Amino acid sequence: MKFLIVGLGNPGAEYAQTRHNVGFKTLDLLAQELGTTFSLDKAVFKAEAKYKGRQLVLIKPITYMNLSGKAVNYWLQNEKILLSNLLVVTDDISLPFGTIRIKGKGSDGGHNGLKDIEAILKTQEYARLRFGVGADFPKGRQADYVLGEWNADEKTALQGRLEVAVAAIKSFSFEGLSMAMTNWNNK
């Protein structure tokens, strides 16, 4: 079985340590654990690895967050991966920092990356792993917050929470969506 695991973020050093790039950071850790590295290929950084007999195609679109859909669609088609084997990893301001929530479908929740993916794929029926980044910002300052860097407390706890997200991705690819949700939501 083949899976497409997508980490959402923005390319460039100025975004590397921001909350909005937690999808990229999660995939970086997953690639490290699986002993693979990313290389540039058709508008994404791409890595491939095997996990318990499953083939994982990891991509980090470099089209900026708001234009992620074309890259996701291209790699689904190019790799002949079923929509049911797609998992998108993204930040979520509606969840407290470090909270992991896997869902098999749902709205974009105001997230522009998910909004573009849904528009291109013409469905909300794909799995996503939402990584809580909290909502500690004044009204109207959401963009500054998600494009801001982690605070000191978040930086201290981030590695452990990324490890949980990686374990949830592995569970999704090996045990399936239902078991991943049961075992990893809110852990």
Per-residue pLDDT tens listing for the chain (187 residues): 999 999 999 999 999 999 999 999 999 999 999 999 999 999 999 999 999 999 999 999 998 888 999 999 999 999 999 999 999 999 999 999 999 999 999 988 889 899 999 999 999 999 999 999 999 888 889 899 999 999 999 999 999 999 999 999 999 999 999 999 999 998 8
- Model's pTM, two decimal places? 0.96
Q: Where are the domains of the chain?
A: 2-184
- C-alpha separations of 100 from 23, 50, 116, 144, 174 in Å: 12, 23, 22, 22, 18
What is the distance between the alpha carbons of residues 145 and 162, in angstroms, rounded to a whole number?
19
Q: What is the edge-to-edge ordering of all strands in the sheet holding 39-41?
A: 39-41, 44-51, 54-61, 2-7, 86-92, 127-132, 100-103
- Tell me the CATH number of domain 2-184, given options 3.30.420.10, 3.90.79.10, 3.30.70.1430, 3.40.50.1470: 3.40.50.1470
| Catalytic residue from among 20, 128, 161, 170 | 20
Q: Does 20 qualify as catalytic in the annotation?
A: yes
Are the C-beta atoms of 31 and 49 separated by less than 8 Å? yes
